[in-house]
A = this chain, B = another copy of it.
């Protein structure tokens, strides 16, 4: 359980991976309350360090203090939610089939099935949430909750904040008397790709660009022993505004649209990249008004800065694209871009003709209003040009007849992980029902990386047949010492589902 900088290369990385592998069995065997207590300790210590976290985070990321305080609250609430998930125990999915001599497919033994941790998880921290999707973010919380040791690759956009967070996590885990090796931080890119291919790493998670994510996913898939890779890659989060909504609420929608596009300087994976409207005229005044107050913001990293400048230039020169509001862009001597939001517009026919040149995600404060003529064309458009997104949104007028829009909503459900109504996709709540993951390329798997269901990524099932009580995991024992929900299929039933007992 050491915070290890692997600057000295292979030997240090090997020590980190060995420690993780060697701690895996003991960590997997810890009781839920031990892991829950450790998660709460991490949260408490992070909260206690709020001043230092906000100071260093602000220096490194240029994110405003309010955003960093809010993100820290989200991060520590997330850790405590996972502590509750662990204590509740539904994630074990404990199933007990009683032995049944007369079972429908022949005599049935006693079979009991439970979810167990996958083993050491490699977490690639994101740039854009230096707390909530970084060293002690959602992936780390979910993996630790599952009982998996975690090795975090720090994002080079906030190295000092990563070190500080890792030190706090390490101290909290030490205080919790957990097996050593349960947590480590690495910082070198080569170490991370080596770790991704190391047999001691049993799963990996990633939040970042499509190009890097796909490269890492391919490394995971082409190992001699492929491992699950949970990558959250690109998403342009289309928004559709009905004619009635535009007529009734055009100005409000325009203002909220600008707020969603420009918050955190547009560096959110759920930023609406395209907003479909029948006509931009009713939006213009609202957009202009909303943009007026916005000053220059620094982007998170030089790499994001370069990517934004290239995408912005490509979009502004694409055929059929017109400028609604051109925000400034200058690059400082350290390579960081300072930007003012830009809003463009294009007709649907030109958008389809332009293809990926326009459709690719632009990470930063830029969005495109797409004008459409025919409602009936939209479902096929959604499926054809937006096959995989984290979110999709429909703005209807209050009390608008849903019938004409059902086909579009069905298409949005097929092509995204979250379908929103009369709201905006930025700001993802951390709850039991949240789904933050969608068809490729939004994510590389069908799992969610936000919300309590995210723990499922780091578990697999194992079953025990006719096991003497002494060999059964606690969650499968008749005396159920951890009080977890157990799904029991009694002998003699024609069907399989049985009864569920526990704390529901």
Contacts and interface: CB of A to CB of B under 8 A. Distances in A.
A1 to B, nearest CB: 21
Contacts of A402: 468, 470-471
A116 interface: yes
A112 B429 CA distance: 12
A353 to B, nearest CB: 21
Nearest to A445: B228
B413 A435 contact: no
Contact of A420 (B77, B441, B465, B500): B465
A105 interface: yes
Interface in A456-476: 459-468, 470-471, 473
B433 A466 contact: no
A70 interface: yes
B431 A97 contact: yes
Contact of A471 (B221, B409, B429, B459): B409
A80 B493 CA distance: 13
A459 B453 CA distance: 14
Interface in A418-450: 418-423, 427, 429-435, 437-441, 444-446, 448
B423 A497 contact: no
Interface in A375-426: 387-388, 396, 402-403, 405-406, 409-410, 413-414, 416-423
A74 interface: yes
Interface of A: 25, 29, 70, 73-74, 77-78, 80-81, 84-85, 88, 90, 95-97, 103-106, 108-109, 111-113, 116, 118-119, 217-218, 221-222, 225-226, 228, 387-388, 396, 402-403, 405-406, 409-410, 413-414, 416-423, 427, 429-435, 437-441, 444-446, 448, 452-453, 459-468, 470-471, 473, 487, 489, 494-500, 503-504
Given A432-B489, A435-B462, 5 more contacts: A73-B105, A225-B440, A413-B473, A417-B460, A423-B465
